[in-house]
Chain A
Amino acid sequence: MNNKIKDMIFEFSQAYGPPGREEGIRSSIRQRVEGLCDEITVDQSGNLIAIKHATERKSGRLMVSTHMDEVCLLCSKVLDSGFLRVEPVGFDPKLLPSQKVTVHTKGGEKLRGVVGMLAPHLQTEETKSKISDYDDLFVDVSMHDIGKFSVGDFITFSSEPFESKPFVFAKTIDNRGCCIASVVALEYLQNLRHSFDYYAVFSSREEIGAFGARTATSLIQPDLSIAMDVTFGNIDIPGHPKVELGKGPVIAKGPVLTKRVSERLLSCGKNNGIATQLEVTPSRTGTDADQIQLEGFPVGLISIPLSYMHNTFEKINTEDVKETGRLLALFTSELRQEFLSIQPEEEGE
């Protein structure tokens, strides 16, 4: 399983999918979930929804949302001298100098670009002591006909994934790692009974505000939902519990998240011998869960620990991906209608 997960990370991380342009990753995921579910649809927002019907008398709808889009750059100006100016979508400019990128042109080509950095010989004391922000950065595309480029072209990072067991290093594991956990859950569900229709949503446009998850929720009207995303692993964040790679899925607690869902995820892990970790999200979670909550549905959040989020190389432990998928499948299988009947108290009438 871990080897298969590694292969999927290699494949998914290279698939094209900036916010609102998720066609590449959508087709990769589609190929993996075909045969594991009963229906596959793509909605107006570009969400891919894989539905696996309940195998027992239907008790409700469970939605699991994992975003599939990636951080990227956008071309904001084309210079005749063979360079592009760029604007970011969630990307740290410090990682860019001397980076190979791929420009996705309106003609459908994938063209190489290089983010240049002045050689140290030509730097001055002044230029040495500052970091290049998007006003100074440029993409060298002089290896191609400049007429092929236009404002609005999406630019993704080019980094070759590799494995150093049990870790995989690749771009865009945020959030393709969770997409894979969702596929893994569907695989486990093949051998489990479940009384909820299971909606695996691979959502669009999370990196610009999780709009995909919002519209999917509105469409599906789930009785219960789980958002899956990555979280900061192996780093000390003042005031937060330290989450570590290789120690299992992370269950979040916070105002956005429905308390009994978080508790049930934790107890499900405990009962099935799946190690879990805890994190707190005292305000917004910064994931699909925020938008699901705004639609008014109960929601829980499972995160996979990851190092170096939004870097050109992110790091994940394949065991965590597997265990997250297993937890999700067992949670689904153990879910009964009674869990829904705990409704908020009503007064009057």
Chain B
Amino acid sequence: MAVVTSARKRVMNRMAIAAIMVIAIIFLSPLYWIGSTAFKPRSLATTVPPTVFFQPEITPFIKLFTKRVQLTKPVDPAVYEAAPWYEKRIYDGGERILRVGPNIQLSQYPNRFLNSLIIAIVSTALAVSMGTITAYGFSRFKMPGEADWLFFILSTRMLPPIVVAIPMYLMYRTVGLNDSHLGLIILYTAFNLSFSVWLMKGFMDEIPKEYEEAALVDGYTRMQSFFKIVLPEAVTGIAATSVFCFITAWNEYAFALIMTNRRAQTTPPFIPSQVGSGLIDWTVIAAGTLLFIIPVAVFTFLLRKHLLRGVTFGAIRK
């Protein structure tokens, strides 16, 4: 009997594994599609049936970083011959790169990417540092109405972005923070702060109080023990929280769409705005998307042990 059961179990297991492989492939194929489109020649990006095997090329990335325009007449062969290899690729695609005097004009992508980096990093640093000390405060000291305060902090994260965006837009236009890096940094800090408090409180609660008490007995002040004992213990938690905050700020779309324009626009509203000229060039969009999601993919991989905790605001620790 036992033999039969285990044999049946093994078959079941095999089937489950096969099913998982199939489902995983289905789930990941859109990602594969983005990745492969970023290396396709433009003519193969929208073919039916879809092109799976092709000679990968780097042209979409050249296009991503340069400002281009449709050719209205064929290129002069002499000009073509004299052009550097990357410019030839653009000519081959029926476009030419714009120039200011002799210099090649870059697209806005590098600038938007940089904006995303600045805004995400600074707001993460602010949200996590404030969140860490606040979490420590809530974790170690009694606070009247503590549960209510924590609920209040959480509830600020639950608001639909558009609901907050309307009054924020009106406030920002009064104080002149629209379309500024600072404006978005403040918004994202506020947005991430509640998350960082909740997540860090979980990590803080896990650090035994005895460590600090021993330090206090040894003559440390409370502040010293916080910086020298608690913070080093909490580094993993801080790192995980930072990564989550970074990803949230990095990916945010609605506020960035409404609040930014020329100066502080980040990548998420910029990539859809690339859909561009007479025809959509999906290869360029895919190239921009691919570069944009690489940091997120790397972080997700590093974070894998903390994902569960992060996505539930620290409610589930495992």
Q: Do A and B come from one complex?
A: no
